[in-house]
Structure 1
């Protein structure tokens, strides 16, 4: 609109200057010179003003679409997947309506849309809904055991302190002969320790030692720190740590802190 207005004003001024020039050919040359001198500054001034307004109009122009990563991120999720995500969040407090909605709309999703729903619910920390979608995925014909699907969901549940659900997924994963990686062991051990379940943390630790992948130092150090109030369990982990990582050091705080000498 600003460009069209600028061109229209320029055309009017140009036609006026041509008309005045034609008229001045039959009039006094001095008057023609004085008229052209008075006309040029006006034309320059209008041109500068309109160009400034046009530039400012372009700067503030917005077509209503989202900008940047938000728009690109939304495009990665299909309309059907977004509809299911919004519906599950809407009926999350009504179990009957939630199950009916999933049976009506969730089961109709394609494989990639189901994975997109699962990933987005994990990102938004709706971990209970994500677990429900994962169970729906396990019943599909195309489903194959995947350690990475388990990993993301288990970590999301552990960070939300939903350790009962973590145990269910852990048992399901072991039945499918899948072993988690070091990051998954670390987050689950940290989750059990922070929730006050050192025995469950030790069970995960024993499972980690039987894993085909070599363990990392981080889950050991988290256990050594979290088991400070439990010296018997801590000494067992400490001995294993010294055998597996002989070149690493362990910080042992004074025993008087915990009342044992």
Structure 2
């Protein structure tokens, strides 16, 4: 029944039998009736396990990793990255953008952008990001902005993060919970409590439900800064929104001995 179900969903099963010819010579291989397709093969009274390999590659359903390492980048993307890093001054960078970056195909351009974001090359990432937004294939996506805001926030470039947060909305996108969370985390990183709480309340008004990461960032930093009134508001929301809110808060406060922002 399991095999029939897998075949019905279009998943190919490859059975790999590691059976030496010497051990199989003169013996017959049969599937025990009691096994019923459970991956066990009977060999003259002995059993061996059968390894099944499930592959979705033929159906185009497998996804590539979110981050591509430098080794995963094409030679053209690597060359563009090196040229951008070596360029000195705005004119040199603009020249590389025209001669190298503009020639990249969509996957290579996105790989280059992800590499620059991951390595905190903020100025270069901004230029490539803005260039990508002008490409004919570009379609607004919240996740595209999330990676940018995350990089800018952790590097304390608050004004740039705010700019792209507004750009996201101007393109008709609704910020997700994780984008709101990264914005308030960026504010907390530079001790802008009022802006962080405004972003938190804006998040709730927009119908985005805070998650554990949201509450962790808020509780730990509000405790660090001694914001008693704000802590009470956030803790009440945590109890209301999380299944085990009270236990979660106890754990967060216990781990406060090792302070962290995220």
Q: Which bracket does the TM-score occupy, shorter chain normalised?
A: 0.5 to 0.7
Q: Deviations over 1:157-196 (max 9, x none)?
A: 2222222211111111122233444444333322211212
Partner of 1:107 in structure 2? Answer: 102
* Other-structure match for 1:172: 167
Uncovered stretches (5+) of structure 1, i.e. residues with no partner: 1-71, 254-261
1:200 Cα deviation (Å)? 2.1
Q: How many residues align?
A: 181
Give, in angstroms, the shift of residue 214 of structure 1: 2.9
Structure with max Cα Rg: 1
Equivalent in 154, 162, 175 of residue 159 of structure 1: 154
Gaps of 5+ in 2: 1-67, 254-262
1:146 equivalent in structure 2: 141
Match of residue 80 from structure 2? 84
Q: Take 1:210 and 1:128, find their aligned partners in 2: how far apart are those partners?
A: 33
From 214, 228, 237, the counterpart of 2:234: 237
Query: How far apart are 1:201 and its partner, in Å?
Result: 1.1
The normalised TM-score by structure 2 is 0.60
Write the distance in 2 (CA, Å) between the matches of 1:190 and 1:73. 26
Q: Normalized per residue, which structure has more strand?
A: 2
Match in the other structure for 1:216: 211
Q: Provide the residue aligned with 1:248 in structure 2.
A: 245
Maintained 8 Å contact 2:153/2:186: yes
Instruction: Give the structure with the larger helix fraction.
Output: 1
| Alignment RMSD | 2.7
Q: Distance in 2 between matches of 1:87 and 1:192?
A: 33
Pair 1:95-2:90 in alignment: yes
Q: 1:217 to 1:78 in 2, by over 3 A?
A: closer
Taking the aligned partners of 1:204 and 1:73, their CA distance within structure 2 comes to 33
Q: Is 2:183 aligned against 1:191?
A: no
